Each structure stands twice: as structure tokens, then as C-alpha cells.
Amino acid sequence: MSYSVAVAGASGYAGGEVLRLLAAHPEFEVTTVTAFSNAGQRLSTVQPHLRSLADLVLVDTTAQNLAGHDVVFLALPHGKSGELTAQLDDSTLIVDCGADHRLTDAGAWAKFYGGDYFGAWPYGLPELPLAGGGTQRENLVGAKRIAVPGCNVTAITLGLAPGIQTGVLDSDDLVAILAVGTSGAGKAAKPELIASEILGSASAYAVGGTHRHTPEIIQNLAVAGGVGVTVSFTPMLVPMSRGILATSTAKLAAGATAASVREAFEEAYADEHFVHVLPAGEFPRTADTVGANTALIGLAVDEVAGRVVTITAIDNLVKGTAGAAIQSANVALGLPEALGLATNGVAP
């Protein structure tokens, strides 16, 4: 069976990556692409690398243009998805790559985003361990609405959740420092992202608990079993177009050992197609995940500090956004979870 697909926000980085992956998916047929200011242009004008979809023409992002498809992927700025989704048929699978439906707490939405709160949807991180056992994928089977995680959230969550779920890590005093590629900031022209500003430099942003992904990280780790979760999360903009390298640390729980920490992570991800725990002493590079839907995790225990350190690498546009969207859609539709998605990165 072939599913007709529309992609809203197709001219941006996230929308372009959704389209790149969909182009290789054997069960999805892209029939409609939409945009705001770029409506009326051929897709090849704004996404010239998508040669197999070059003849598509961008139309206005309206509920009318999105209606009638089996699957709709939304890659829109926050506040824009919620305005559209209520107008679409309940039988349509809608996968939102934006923030509008991620948070379960309306107060957190008001504090970190503002504007109308549109409610939470089933969360599109299949590998997330749940406190009572199992994983989040169980909640995605048959879903018609899916909220894709934030890219930074995915890297931190995957790098900490198994330890929280099994109790080998304390869930307070979590610290995460992320090196983040510039595509995470979107395609809009911004002075701080031009080559002369970013090349040869690294800079922190959203410092001091102000990043909008903070409540989402706390939400996920609470779902994994964390009590009184606190996290200090600082992203660092670095001169690479793609990738996130998340260094996340947590206090080693009383009685836990380096062996029990490794066992918790290896057991949690043993059967996962896209999340791989590296052997002891090995740590990932962002380059190893470029173009792939994989998350690579390295583990270490700092015995002097009494902390566990996890290093997680993902491609922010694939496992951090578009790949997670398609992976979750596969689960919802009963397709093989890995269909259309790569585990191998691109090198050099």
C-alpha cells in the first residue's frame, strides 16, 4: 500500500530533510509540498538537492491544501502547527516536527513559548524507556497524531533515560552541555549564523535554564521514572552544519557501579535498531551519524566526582527531527520501523 503524503514547511531545513528521507521510502508518495513566503516556487528552487522531487511546486500552507492526504508532516515554526491541525480530519496521520504538541504541562508552554496551548500528542521517541517498563513505541501504535521531540531533547534523553529508569543515576543535578550545528537554528537568515561569524568560533546560547527544550527534557526523564528531575542544559553553537554532541552527566546513585551503569544502558538499547551503546572506552563523533537515523552513546564513570558521563551523537536533522518523524510514522502505521531510514552515516 502506498500512502499519499503532504509536507508543510517544505522550504526549510527540517522540511527539506523530511522530503529527502521520504524520497527513498517505498511506501510514502509525496504529492503536496507547502510553504509560506516561498509558495509558488518550484521545490527545486529552494531545495535544489532534492532532484527526484524537483517538479513539485510549493503551495500555500493552508488546511485546505493539506487535507485529503493519508499522512501530513508539519515542519513549521512553533505556534503555526496548532492553528492547522484542528482543521484536519481525524483519520489523517499528522506528524508534527515542531513544538506545539510536545509539552503536557500548559504552564511550561506558557513560560517557555507563550501563546495558545494546543495540547499534547503521543510523543515520537520510540526508544524512550518508560518507568513501568516497555518503551514509548507502544504508545505510538495506531496513533493519528504524533509530536516529534526537539533535537537537543533527543540527544539528552537517550543519553540519560536508561540510567534514570533503572535507578543507577540520580535524577536531580543533571548537567548537559551540547555542541550543536547551525542547521538547528533553522534556515532564516540571522547575522550570528553567517560564515564570517560562526567559522573559527564557538558560543553559548540560551544559558541559565532559558532554552525552550528544558521542560521537555524534564518531562521525558520523569516519564522514565525520574523524581524531582532538575537539569542544567547549555547548548553551544559550533561551526558545523549538522550534528549534536551531548555531554550529559548525572550523580551515580548509591550502590551503583560502573558495571551496573553499563548494564542498564546495554539492556535498554540491546534490541534497538537506531540507538547503539559503544564499547567501553569508545566515544562517538558527530561525523559518524551524518545522514543516519542513529544515536551513538559512549559511557564513562568519573569515580572521583561520583558522576556518570554519557556522550551522545546524533544528526540533528535526522534522528533529531526528520528521521524520528518517519520512524514514528512507520510505527503508527504498522510498517517496519526502520523502513526508509539509514543506520549508516556518510564519511568523510
- Domain spans, the chain: 3-149+319-333, 152-316
pLDDT beyond 90 at 23: yes
Angle, to 10 degrees, between the axis of helix 151-166 and the axis of helix 258-268?
120
Q: Are 260 and 268 in contact (CB under 8 A)?
A: no
* Confidence at residue 197, expressed as pLDDT on a 0 to 100 scale: 87
Q: Is 68 exposed, middle or buried (0-12, 13-18, 19+ CB in 10 A)?
A: middle
Which has the minimum average pLDDT: 180-194, 243-257, 324-338? 180-194
* Segment 107-129 mean pLDDT: 97
Distance from CA of residue 222 to its chain's centroid? 18
Amino acid letter for position 276: H
Active site residue: 151, 153, 217, 253, which one? Answer: 151
What angle is formed at CA 274 by the lines to CA 268 and CA 279, rounded to 5 degrees?
60
The pTM of the full predicted model, rounded to 2 decimals, is 0.96
Taking alpha carbons only, the member of 345, 336, 313 closest to residue 126 is: 336
**Does residue 151 carry a catalytic annotation?**
yes
C-alpha cell at 61: 500552507
The yes-or-no verdict on residue 145 having pLDDT over 80 is yes
Domain at 152-316: CATH architecture = 2-Layer Sandwich (3.30)
Would you place residue 32 in the very low, low, confident or very high pLDDT band (cuts 50, 70, 90)?
A: very high
Confidence band of 196 (pLDDT split at 50, 70, 90): confident
Indicate whether 1 pLDDT > 80: no
pLDDT value of position 203: 94
Average pLDDT of every residue of the chain: 96
> Would you say residue 86 has pLDDT above 90?
no
Query: How would residue 198 be classed by pLDDT, with cut points 50, 70 and 90?
Result: confident
Query: Does residue 139 have a pLDDT over 80?
Result: yes
CATH top-level class for 3-149+319-333? Answer: alpha beta
